[in-house]
C-alpha cells in the first residue's frame, strides 16, 4: 500500500517538472541564444581551412626556394592552424553539448572519445591544454627564429621573446591552477556524497 501512494507522488513531481512557468522556460530557453555563436565558430573554422590550404599552396609553389629552416617554420605554422582548428572543434562540440543541447551521438562510430565524459570542468581543462599546445608551437617558432636576433632578418627582439616565454609560463600555471581547483572541488564533492 505504501508503494501505491509513492508512485502517484513521483509521477506528479515529473508532471510538475514538465510544466515549467513562463520565467523558468524563458531562462532555460535562453541557452539557444548561444547557437549563433557556435555557428559563427564553424565559419571561423572554415576560414582556418582556407588559410591552411593557402599556406600549403604557397609552400608547395615555392618549395624550390625554401631553406630547411623556412620549411620547418612553415610546417609549424600549419601545425598551429590545425591545433587552433582542434581547439575550435572542442569549443563547438563540447560547448554545444554542455551548454545548449545534447547532440545524441551515443553509439555513432565517429563520436569523439572525450565527448562521452565532457562537462564544463573537463572542457575547461581540455581548452587550457589546447591553448598550451598552441602557445608551445608559437614559442618553438620564435626560438627557431631567435637565432637571428639582432639582425634585420627577424622581427623578434629579446624583450619580445622574454614576454612570449612569460605568457607561455602563465598559460601553464593557469592550467595547473584550473586542474588543481577542479581536483579539490571533485574531492570535496566525493566527501559530501560519502557522508550523505
Quick: pLDDT tens for 136-181: 998 888 888 777 666 666 667 788 888 999 999 999 999 999 888 8
Calpha distance 149→155 (Å, rounded): 8
Q: How many CB atoms lie within 10 A of CB 180?
A: 10
Between 126 and 119, the more confident residue is 126
pLDDT given at position 151:
63
Domain segments of the chain: what residues? 22-195
Q: Assign residue 106 a region (left: φ > 0; alpha: ψ between -120 and 50; beta: otherwise).
A: beta
Between 44 and 14, the more confident residue is 44
Asked if pLDDT for residue 135 goes beyond 80, the answer is yes
Asked if pLDDT for residue 13 goes beyond 50, the answer is no
The 10 Å CB-count burial string (b at 16+, else e) for 95-132 is bbbbeeeeeeeeeeeeeeeebeebeebebbebbbbbbe
What proportion of the chain, given as a percentage, has pLDDT over 70?
Answer: 84
pLDDT given at position 167:
94
0.85 exceeded by pTM: no
pLDDT given at position 12:
46
Write out the three cell numbers for 77: 605554422
Quick: pLDDT tens for 52-75: 999 999 999 988 888 888 888 889
Transcribe 73-116 into DSSP letters.
HHHHHHHHHHHHHHHHHIIIIIHIIIII-----TT-TT--GGGG
Between 33 and 126, the more confident residue is 33
Instruction: Report H helices in the chain.
Output: 2-18, 22-29, 35-61, 68-89, 95, 120-145, 158-195
pLDDT given at position 32:
93
Residues 6 or more apart in contact with residue 34 via CB below 8 angstroms: 95, 96, 99, 100
Amino acid at each position: 500500500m505504501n508503494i501505491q501512494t509513492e508512485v502517484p507522488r513521483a509521477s506528479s513531481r515529473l508532471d510538475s517538472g514538465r510544466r515549467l512557468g513562463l520565467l523558468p522556460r524563458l531562462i532555460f530557453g535562453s541557452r539557444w541564444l548561444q547557437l549563433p555563436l557556435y555557428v559563427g565558430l564553424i565559419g571561423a573554422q572554415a576560414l582556418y581551412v582556407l588559410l591552411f590550404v593557402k599556406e600549403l599552396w604557397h609552400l608547395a609553389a615555392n618549395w624550390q626556394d625554401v631553406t630547411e629552416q623556412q620549411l620547418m617554420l612553415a610546417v609549424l605554422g600549419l601545425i598551429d592552424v590545425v591545433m587552433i582548428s582542434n581547439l575550435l572543434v572542442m569549443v563547438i562540440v563540447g560547448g554545444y553539448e554542455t551548454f545548449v543541447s545534447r547532440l545524441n551521438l551515443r553509439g555513432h562510430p565517429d563520436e569523439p572519445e572525450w565527448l562521452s565524459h565532457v562537462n564544463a570542468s573537463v572542457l575547461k581543462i581540455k581548452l587550457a591544454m589546447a591553448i598550451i599546445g598552441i602557445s608551445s608551437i608559437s614559442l618553438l617558432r620564435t626560438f627557431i627564429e631567435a637565432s637571428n636576433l639582432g639582425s634585420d632578418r627577424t622581427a623578434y627582439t629579446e624583450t619580445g621573446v622574454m614576454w612570449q616565454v612569460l605568457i607561455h609560463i602563465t598559460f601553464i600555471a593557469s592550467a595547473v591552477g584550473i586542474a588543481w581547483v577542479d581536483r579539490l572541488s571533485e574531492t570535496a564533492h566525493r566527501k559530501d556524497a560519502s557522508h550523505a
